[in-house]
Structures are given as structure tokens and as C-alpha cells.
């Protein structure tokens, strides 16, 4: 490249992207497109590439939608992952996208991941797909379409409680689904009520669904309790669950601790309002053997109760690798409680994050540096008291 650009007799064609793409385009597998790049000219330039991952940002106008559809039609047979970010996805747009993806007679349809982030799917499109949307209706009936999907991300699309009934009908067609993210949608407990039968049926049938994120969904302790009861009663429960940023309170702790006795490997309960009472319940009822690898209990204002729960968890979760417990109002004596637990076991713990607790510091308890894994400190604490910005729970 440098020899081309340093030449005095450089031809104008060498400076064009289209020329460089003829040389390098066959190696490209992932491209991210801003709206202005979704044109027929760009599509022609990419037609001989074998793109596997496409990301579209701020697709709004009809001209941009047409460019997206051209790109999807051209690469439908090689595409593995599709993502929309901050796009206007009206029903007509979604139908065009589905038509472009589902090529007639194609036996090579193998898309595995669809992510729609902060892109409201308006006008109740989910409720009409089986009735008026012929392109998606045919896709749902095809054995080579949604069956290949393993990841579905619907984060931040303003889905309402009523939308979840229609979403679950579509989810039932995704027999290979492993990961589902419905975070940042105000679906409330009513939306979770629609999701529970799908989860029961999918997991009992041996479907591979293993990861569920329902963060910031306006859920209450009642809805989450129903969800946890459902998951704990199934022989093949989830490996990963996140219910962070839902104000649940301490009343959910009794059901949560039962769920900890299942096969769950990763749990995120950040900022759900457990408080001291919630952590006390978790500590006292914690099963003798917990299979957790990672847990996030940050921003729950648990005080010394958080430290006692962590110490019990260290002793009863032999596979535990990391714990996030920042911003929990831990008092100085918490470090001694946790360190005493670390002395009693040879665990796999590599990281215990206690940042954001203003009363903790390595200055007042230097023994934290005694605990290391692979030469690195296990405990992450502020260097000095008050050296971290305080966590503000107010909106």
C-alpha cells in the first residue's frame, strides 16, 4: 500500500475504495454500516465478498432501507449475525428485511444471531406477523429459517406487556435459541407471565436455551418470584440469568436463594434493592453447595450483611471465579469477615470487586494483598477511604 501511495505517477483509480476492495474485499467478514453507506453502489462493490456479520446504524429513510435490503439479499447465504442499532423499524421495513433474508429455494440459510437495539418495532408488528406479514409467515413455517437462530437480542425497543404474548409465539419457532435478551423494555410482570410458559416448554423439551437477560423491565418481586419458581423447578435450568435494575426489594430473597441451589452458573442481581434483610436471608438459607461461577450483587446497599453473604458463598461455592459487590455501603470490618473466609478454603476465586464502598481501603486493612491468584490480587478495594465516587441510587 505504501509503495502505491508514494508513487509520483499514482493513478486516480488506486485511491478509490472500490479499487482497494477488489484486492481486500474477499477477506472481509464483518462490516458496520452507517446509514449514508447503504447505497446500491456500495452493494455492487461488496457483491463478491462473503460477509458473515452486518451491523446497521440509524437506518431511517426508505432509500437507506432499500440499500440494507440489497445488502441482505446479496449476503443471505453467508450471513451469520445481523444487528440494527438506533433504526426506525416500521412493519413495512421489517417485512422487507425478512423478504431479503429468506431467499426462495435457498438451503443455506444459517443466520444465528439477530440483535435489535434501541430500535422501536412500532405499530404492533409482532402481533401481525402470523396474519398479514406473508414474508415472515413463510419464514416461520420454514425449517431453514428461524430454526438456526441461537441469539436474539431485543434490548431497548420499548416492547410493552402486550407485545410479549406475540414475541413468545415467535420464540416458540426458534428451536435452537440459546440466548435471549429482552432488557430495557417495560414489559412488567404481565409480560413475564407470557414468557414463563414458553420457558417451561422450551426447557422441558430439551431446547438449548441457557441465557436470559431481563434487566430494567419494570418487574416487581411478584413477577420475578414466579419466574424464579419456574426456573428452579425445571431439571435443566438456565446457566445464566440477569434480573438487574428491577426494584424487587428484600422479599425476593427467599425465592432467589432457592434458585441458587439450581445449576445456575452466572447470576446478575445488581441494584434490585436487597438491602441488609435480603442479604441476611440469602446468607442463612444458602444451600450447602452452590454451582455459581460468577455473581453480581453490586448496588444493593447491604452493609455488613453483604460481607457475611460473600464469606458464606466463598465457602459453599467451590467453583466461584468472580464476585462483583461494589457500592454496597460495606463498613471497614467487612474486609476482615471476607478475608477470614478466604483463609479457610482453597477456592478458584480470582476477582472480588469491592470498589465503590467508601469506608473500605487497603490502607486500613493491608492484609487484602495477601490473597492472590496467578500473581494478581483477588480483592479489589479502594486505595484510600472515600477515593471512589459515591453511588447515588436516586434517579
Q: CA–CA distance from 324 to each of 160, 306, 354, 355, 376 (Å)?
A: 31, 11, 7, 9, 17
Q: What's the rounded Cα separation, in Å, for the pair 309 and 147?
A: 42
Looking at per-residue pLDDT, the higher value among 10 and 175 belongs to: 175
Instruction: Output the pTM of the full model.
Output: 0.85
Using an 8 Å Cβ cutoff, are 90 and 68 in contact? no
Q: Minimal CA–CA distance to 276: which of 252, 250, 302, 313?
A: 302
41-56 mean pLDDT: 86
Least confident of 8-22, 94-108, 242-256, 267-281: 8-22
Asked if pLDDT for residue 103 goes beyond 50, the answer is: yes
For 136-151, the pLDDT digits (tens) are 444 444 444 567 789 9
219-246 mean pLDDT: 93
Give the helix/strand (H/E) hosting 82.
Answer: strand 81-85
* Number of alpha carbons in the 13 Å side-chain half-sphere of residue 153: 15
Asked if pLDDT for residue 28 goes beyond 80, the answer is: yes
Domains of the chain: 235-395 (3.80.10.10)
Q: What is the pLDDT of residue 172?
A: 87
- Dihedral of alpha carbons 362, 364, 366, 371, sign: negative
Residue 20: pLDDT band (50, 70, 90) is low
Q: What's the rounded Cα separation, in Å, for the pair 14 and 18?
A: 9
* Residue 372 β-bridge partners: 377
Amino acid at each position: 500500500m505504501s509503495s502505491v501511495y508514494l508513487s509520483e505517477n499514482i493513478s486516480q483509480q488506486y485511491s478509490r475504495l472500490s479499487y482497494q476492495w477488489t484486492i481486500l474485499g474477499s477477506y472481509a467478514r464483518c462490516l458496520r454500516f452507517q446509514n449514508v453507506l447503504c447505497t446500491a453502489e456500495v452493494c455492487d462493490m461488496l457483491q463478491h465478498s462473503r460477509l458473515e456479520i452486518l451491523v446497521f446504524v440509524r437506518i431511517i429513510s426508505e432509500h437507506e432501507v432499500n440499500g440494507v435490503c440489497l445488502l441482505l439479499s446479496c449476503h443471505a447465504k453467508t450471513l451469520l449475525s445481523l444487528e440494527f442499532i438506533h433504526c426506525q423499524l416500521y412493519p413495512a421495513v421489517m417485512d422487507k428485511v425478512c423478504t431479503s433474508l429468506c431467499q426462495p429455494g435457498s438451503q443455506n440459510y444459517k443466520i444465528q444471531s439477530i440483535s435489535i437495539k434501541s430500535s422501536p418495532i412500532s405499530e404492533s408488528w409482532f402481533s401481525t406477523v402470523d396474519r398479514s406479514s406473508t414474508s415472515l409467515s413463510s419464514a416461520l413455517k420454514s425449517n431453514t429459517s428461524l430454526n438456526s437462530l441461537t441469539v436474539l437480542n431485543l434490548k431497548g425497543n420499548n416492547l410493552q406487556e402486550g407485545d410479549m404474548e406475540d414475541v413468545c409465539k415467535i420464540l416458540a419457532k426458534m428451536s435452537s435459541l440459546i440466548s435471549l435478551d429482552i432488557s430495557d423494555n417495560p414489559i412488567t410482570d404481565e409480560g413475564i407471565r407470557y414468557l414463563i410458559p414458553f420457558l417451561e416448554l422450551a426447557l422441558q423439551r430439551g431446547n438449548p436455551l441457557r441465557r436470559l437477560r431481563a434487566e430494567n423491565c419494570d418487574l416487581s418481586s411478584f413477577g420475578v418470584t414466579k419466574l424464579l419458581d419456574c426456573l428452579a423447578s425445571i431439571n435443566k435450568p438456565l446457566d445464566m440469568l440477569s434480573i438487574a435494575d428491577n426494584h424487587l426489594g428484600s422479599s425476593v430473597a427467599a425465592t432467589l436463594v432457592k434458585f441458587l441451589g439450581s445449576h445456575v452458573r452466572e447470576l446478575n442481581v445488581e441494584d434490585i434493592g436487597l438491602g441488609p434483610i435480603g442479604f441476611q436471608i440469602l446468607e442463612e438459607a444458602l444451600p450447602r453447595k452452590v454451582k455459581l461461577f460468577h455473581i453480581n450483587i453490586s448496588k444493593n446497599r447491604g452493609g455488613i450483611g453483604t460481607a457475611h453473604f460473600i464469606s458464606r458463598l466463598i465457602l459453599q461455592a467451590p467453583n466461584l471465579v468472580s464476585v462483583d459487590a461494589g457500592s454496597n455501603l460495606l463498613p471497614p470490618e467487612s474486609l476482615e469477615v471476607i478475608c477470614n473466609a478466604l483463609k479457610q478454603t482453597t477456592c478458584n476465586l480470582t476477582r472480588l470487586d469491592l470498589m465503590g464502598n467508601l469506608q473500605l481501603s487497603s490502607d486500613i486493612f493491608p492484609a487484602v494483598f495477601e490473597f492472590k491468584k496467578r500473581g494478581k490480587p483477588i480483592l479489589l478495594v479502594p486505595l484510600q477511604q472515600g477515593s471512589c465516587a459515591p453511588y447515588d441510587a436516586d434517579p
